[in-house]
Structure 1
Amino acid sequence: MTTWVFRLARWSAIVGGVVLCAITLMSVTSITGRALSGVGLGPVPGDFELVEVGTGVAVFLFLPWTYLRGGHATVDLLYNHLPAFLQKTVSMVCDVLMLVLWLALTWKLWDGMLEKREYLETTFILQMPVWWAYAACFVGAVIGCLAYLTKTLINLGLARYPEGWPVESAGVH
């Protein structure tokens, strides 16, 4: 199961990268269009809305892989001076708290998505249904829950890293 979650998180990050590249290209196109408005070009309609939605989606798709790779920022000022058992305890408590936070976040994304869909809320310029953005972020949040659960199970000794996974790049401080 861990191999599947790690692969899913990796592909999620790749899709997030594609979304971020698309936002970048669209922004360059829109800025160029604004700069050349004197010759009949113009900005991409709804560019701010697209950047807003795309950035949120990309972040949710990046976070699970970032977590599994140990890429989140840590403050090691005191941590490195703790005994090994306390370091493991601190990591475990943080992982469990983050899992609880992600579960709550995912639940509220689901609630928000249903509410936006029920009231047919749309963006101002493109009239794009807002619940689409919530749905895309929800996918990333579910993958994040799976990533946090998997890492917590690994830290508890109930699961193992995928075969060939370099443990030193898996979030060891």
Structure 2
Amino acid sequence: MYNFFQRSANIMAYLGGLMLTALVVLTCASILGRTVNGMMHSDAMMSVAPDLAKWALSLGVGPINGDFELVEAGVAFAIFAFLPICQLAGAHAVVDIFTTGLSEKNNRRLQAVIDILFALIILLIAVQLFAGMQSKINSGQVSLLLQFPVWWGYAFSMVGAAVTTVITIYIATIRVVEAVKNQDILPQPQGADH
């Protein structure tokens, strides 16, 4: 079962990475286009090389239309895409200054409680995200520049939220079993590397 969740989390992380890479390329291309457009509109370029400036502007050199809308939707997906692998690896930031003195058994109990709370919070976020998506579908709201339905961004994020919810419930269940049996079943949370 753990291997299935590991594969699912890895797939989501790869998709999140691809999304972030695409967004970086999009942002860089848009900034480059905006910069070149500004240079071609400058008085200096219009006086030194007016034909080049007019030619470049006639090509449509400029910022990518709707880049902010795409980045907004894409980053939301990427965040949800990375949550499953973070939860499965126990790689969330951990402040253990108060728990280092606790016994192993009490630390297991505390970890079970933390993972149960995290699963409940992620479930609540997923439910609210789904409700928001339904609201956007029903209202027919579209983005300002590209006119794509806003619910598309919610739907992409919902995939990551659903996978994260299933994985957090799985982790919480196993952590409860670990606390009851007082033995490790899953790899122990390592926290974020410093």
Q: Return the TM-score normalized by structure 2.
A: 0.81
Alpha-carbon spacing, 1:123–1:45, altered in 2? closer, same or farther (3 Å): same
Q: Does 1:122 align with 2:137?
A: no
| Structure 1 ranges of 4+ moved more than 2 A | 156-161
Q: Which consecutive unaligned segments of at least 5 residues does structure 1 have?
A: 162-166
Look up the equivalent residue of 1:49 and give its one-letter code: E
Look up the equivalent residue of 2:164 and give its one-letter code: G
Aligned residues: 166
Greater RCO between the two (CA within 8 Å, min separation 6)?
A: 1
Shift of 1:12: 0.4
CA-based RMSD: 1.6
Q: Does 1:171 align with 2:189?
A: yes
Shift of 1:154: 2.0
Query: Residue 79 of structure 1 aligns to a residue in which SS?
Result: coil
For residues 190 and 63 of structure 2, what CA distance do their matches in structure 1 show? 46
For residues 71 and 107 of structure 1, what CA distance do their matches in structure 2 show? 24
For residues 4 and 32 of structure 1, what CA distance do their matches in structure 2 show? 42
Q: Does 1:52 align with 2:72?
A: yes
Same amino acid, percent of matched pairs: 33
Q: Which consecutive unaligned segments of at least 5 residues does structure 2 have?
A: 41-55, 179-183
Query: Residue 128 of structure 1 aligns to a residue in which SS?
Result: coil
Partner of 1:82: 102
Point out the structure with max Rg over C-alpha.
2
Q: Does 1:68 align with 2:92?
A: no
Q: Deviations over 1:125-145 (max 9, x none)?
A: 111111001111111011001
Look up the equivalent residue of 1:10 and give its one-letter code: N
Residues 2 and 160, structure 1, Cα contact 8 Å, conserved in 2? no
Q: Deviations over 1:143-171 (max 9, x none)?
A: 0011111211221338954xxxxx2xx51
